[in-house]
A and B are shown apart, each in its own frame.
Chain A
Amino acid sequence: MSFRKPSVLPGFGLTFGFTTFFLSAIVLLPLAALVLSAGSMHWSDFVRVVSSPRALGSYRLSFGASLLAATINLVFGFIIAWTLVRYEFPGRKIIDALIDMPFALPTAVSGIALTTVFAQNGWIGRYLEPLGVKVAYTWIGVTLALTLISMPFAVRAVQPALQEVQRDLEEAAETLGAKRPYVLWRIILPTVLPALLTGFTLAFARAVGEYGSVIFIAGNLPMKTEITPLLIVIHLEEFDYQGAAALGVVMLGISFVILFAINLLQAWGRRRHVRAAH
């Protein structure tokens, strides 16, 4: 498509210019600065910083817990969205509003609240303790915090898609002899799959970048419960800006690869439909 093409809607030049400027100023330039800052390091220093056992441990925790949290939200977000879309019950509107709470809450507050509940002497933690399950100050706590703060993304992504699944489809499947689980698996899930993937992606992206809520509940033991964003902050506090930038670049890279992979998956799913047609 040519940029010159006359359009029904005026103002393309202006809006496009604004878009490029905005993206550059807010997103691309800072990222470039980050990469440049890391690039000013010596290559061996860079490798040493980013592959130190402490850094490797933090990647494992950050990305592992984020993927786990996003997966949990994929399942439970779907169920919550389903309940909200499909059923009419007293308090539905309130629950619907509660979903957005993690958006609005300062993440540090979420972290403190979670710690209060799940610490060894917390409301829930004290009952889990005798069972040998420690939540606070372990990777479980990290996952829990990440699940909490990324949950709205999963729910809100799936909700509109579920709303659009026509009852007719389910009814058609039912008259054709399908049982409920079969309808869910073969009709509903495939229809909302793109939305589910989007929700997963958003939840994952949010979880990877999370800092505030995790540091309270994680305990921050090096190699064990230390997330990468925290490690970056530690580098900063030591005035090691280059080290922090190096870790940032690695996070950026891994996140980009994962998000890109999910996008490819989506595109592949769409193409599969089209290809099946020819």
Chain B
Amino acid sequence: MSITLDQVTKHYAGVPVVNDVSLDIAEGEFFVLLGPSGSGKSTLLRAIAGLSGVDHGRISLHGRDVTHVAARKRGVGLVFQNYALFRHMTVADNIEFALRVRHMRGRARRKRRAELLRLVALEGMDNRLPAQLSGGQQQRVAVARALAHKPEVLLLDEPFGALDAKIREELRRTIRGVQRELRITTVLVTHDQEEAFAMADRIGIMNQGRLLEVGVPHELYARPATRFVATFLGAANLFLAHRTPDGIQVGGKTMGISERSPGSPEYEVVAVVRPEEVEVAPARETLGSRYLGHGVVDEVTFTGALERLRVRLDEAVHAPLLAAGDGDGSTALQVTRTRHAHRGFEVQQGQSVAVGLRRVHILPTPLSSFTACATSAALADALSHQPLLAELVARMKTRVALRIEPALGRADEPVDGQGEFFGTTVIAAESDNTLRAEWLLRRGVKDLLVLPSHAAPPQRVLIHWMADAARSATLAVSASVLRHVPAEAVYVGIFPGRGDSERHSHGMRELLDARSEAQAAHGLEMRTELHFGDVGKELTRRLAEAPAQMLIVGISELQHFAEAFRTLLDGGRWPVLIVQRGAL
């Protein structure tokens, strides 16, 4: 591996700006770190360059641990957004800077300079000053300068940010050409997904300090694992859908047969439909894809090669649309059509059309939507506006449904009818939380969030499961939560009794297993802690240690859960997400 990052973490004023990032970049690979501004991508790049230290984790370049090695000894070349050329030096002096520092002889230096200028197509510009070059030319000089000392790794920090579109395109080709010719491992940081697609061998997408997903461009586009990646990489329509024994159902109509999972009960999922996978036709019969429903064209925009439509689905189509297009809050379905499709069927604003979906991708996230559950409509409505819940809903681009259960928590109410609850059910933390939680969990709630009214987005999420049957699901839910909250994840392993050495080593093994499973199966980086004693007490103690903590706990049966958690839950001080799996 050319660049290896292992649990790299960097805090700034208490907030993790780079949060537990682990990544391998192969020799000669062109890797693009993509993310919105403030996602931590530039900080990560600077950490690789050695310009800013890390609080935790390791950075290796070609197998050499450089975590504590100064920037000038790391052998990297760095290109800045604003070129950072030495303005009082000529192009030649700029390029030869690294060579002079290394006391290279004059002739060898001139030879290398000529090579580099040829590489970036700036022959004969040797004696110009940076001020006499165009932006694109200056950035070429910066690239040549960064390559002069034959670094093993080339790092580019938004190198095209200050350039206009046409120059950008040209410089992109130059840099890609140079990279191919030298076969140098390159990391480029950008917020522009088009740029990432155009240049990358692989893309890593960052948000809120976390590396969410890594993959080759078309894979990431076609099969994103998270809402964020789905909507950040191009436009996407997100539906709340149901996975049933017959297949994926959107708005009650079966869509993705291929994603069938026989035997399992029905549950709620998030479906991604790219605008180009939506088909519109004059009538249901003329659709080439699966019919979703009818809709009215709200808007037609011509953008050259493509035509963009916004289609408002009829109310009769019960397909809850979470976010359409760029997530601008409107609930119209976004559609893009080629010129060819446009010629086949011209549409006007206000026209009624049949809508079909060609391809539906289901996000593997277990958190689809939230349901605020209370004994009255007013309470449920108040709960749905709780700040942490509102924040989660906004970040996950999902929605909160209201549900009124007048008998919530009443012990004499008979348990009947399972499978009525979809998504994550939320209740407000009061005094009898354990009772109400049990009531809901017995009635088939899988994920239950007990939410104190004052709870804010957590800075640390503690993870624990009481049975191995719930382990995988707990990790999946935790990973999903942590993709949307810039918090630190800590797995708290608790074993009964006192920690003698044998138990200790057994416990450590379990922790390591949990950590590697979290990383391999869910892309979740978490720290681990080992405690001995009573589960409820240890977790309460740990939660009380610092403000802004949250607990995610996995359970597979209710009896022990109530015993262990009564005190912790009834205290109602912390948000607790209960994941119930494996009990059928």
Contacts and interface: CB of A to CB of B under 8 A. Distances in A.
A91 to B, nearest CB: 22
A182 interface: yes
A273 interface: yes
Contact of A166 (B72, B74, B84, B146): B84
B495 interface: no
Nearest to A278: B127
B12 to A, nearest CB: 15
A191 to B, nearest CB: 6
B174 interface: no
Contacts of B97: 173, 176, 178, 186
B78 A175 contact: yes
A168 interface: yes
A171 B84 contact: yes
B102 A177 contact: yes
Contacts of A186: 86, 97
A175 B77 contact: yes
A39 interface: no
A104 interface: no
Interface string A35-70: 000000000000000000000000000000000000
Given A178-B97, A273-B129, A171 B72 contact: no
B46 to A, nearest CB: 8
Interface in B81-99: 82, 84, 86-88, 90, 97-98
Given A175-B78, A177-B102, A276 B127 contact: yes
B1 interface: no
A218 to B, nearest CB: 41
Given A168-B84, A191-B87, A277 B145 contact: no
Interface string A251-278: 0000000000000000000000110111
Interface string A227-242: 0000000000000000
A172 B84 CA distance: 7
Interface string B64-82: 0000001111101110101
A124 interface: no
Given A174-B72, A176-B101, A191-B88, A168 B82 contact: yes
A179 interface: yes
Given A166-B82, A166-B84, A171-B71, A176 B90 contact: no
Contacts of A172: 78, 80, 84, 86, 142, 145
A171 B84 CA distance: 9
A276 B87 contact: no
A176 B144 CA distance: 12
A187 interface: yes
A190 interface: yes
A169 interface: yes
Interface in B130-159: 132, 142, 145-146, 148-149
A277 B127 contact: yes
B51 interface: yes
B50 interface: yes
Contacts of A191: 87-88
Nearest to A173: B97
Contacts, number: 73
Q: How large is the interface on A (under 10, 10 to 19, 20 to 34, 35 or more residues)?
A: 20 to 34
Contacts of B76: 175
Interface string A180-201: 0010001100110000000000
B260 interface: no
A177 B86 contact: no
Given A172-B78, A178-B97, A278-B127, A190 B49 contact: no
A171 B80 CA distance: 10
Nearest to B132: A277
Which of A174, A177, A186, A187 is the most central at the interface, judged by chain B CB atoms within 10 Å of its CB?
A: A177
Interface string A20-42: 00000000000000000000000
B72 A168 contact: no
A176 B149 contact: yes
Contacts of B142: 172
Contact of A175 (B49, B87, B88): B49
A178 B71 CA distance: 9
A273 B72 CA distance: 28
A193 to B, nearest CB: 8
B129 A168 contact: no
Nearest to A272: B88
A169 B102 contact: no
B128 interface: yes
A205 B77 CA distance: 46
Given A175-B77, A178-B97, A277 B102 contact: no
B127 A175 contact: no
A169 B145 CA distance: 12
Interface string B268-301: 0000000000000000000000000000000000
B82 A175 contact: no
Contact of B88 (A166, A177, A182, A190): A190
A142 to B, nearest CB: 36
B128 A175 contact: no
A176 B51 contact: no
Given A166-B84, A169-B84, A191-B88, A178 B129 contact: no
Contact of B51 (A174, A187, A277): A174
Contacts of A171: 49, 51, 71, 78, 80, 84
Contacts of B72: 174-179
28 contacts: A168-B84, A171-B49, A171-B51, A171-B71, A171-B80, A171-B84, A172-B84, A174-B72, A175-B49, A175-B50, A175-B71, A175-B72, A175-B77, A175-B146, A176-B77, A176-B145, A176-B148, A177-B101, A178-B97, A182-B101, A186-B86, A186-B97, A187-B86, A191-B87, A191-B88, A273-B129, A274-B129, A276-B90
Interface of A: 166, 168-169, 171-179, 182, 186-187, 190-191, 273-274, 276-278
The 9 A-B residue pairs with the shortest CB-CB distance in the complex, in nearest-first order: A168-B84, A176-B98, A172-B84, A175-B78, A177-B101, A190-B88, A174-B71, A177-B72, A277-B129
Given A169-B84, A186-B97, A277-B132, 12 more contacts: A173-B86, A173-B97, A175-B49, A175-B77, A176-B97, A176-B98, A176-B145, A177-B72, A177-B102, A177-B149, A178-B72, A273-B129
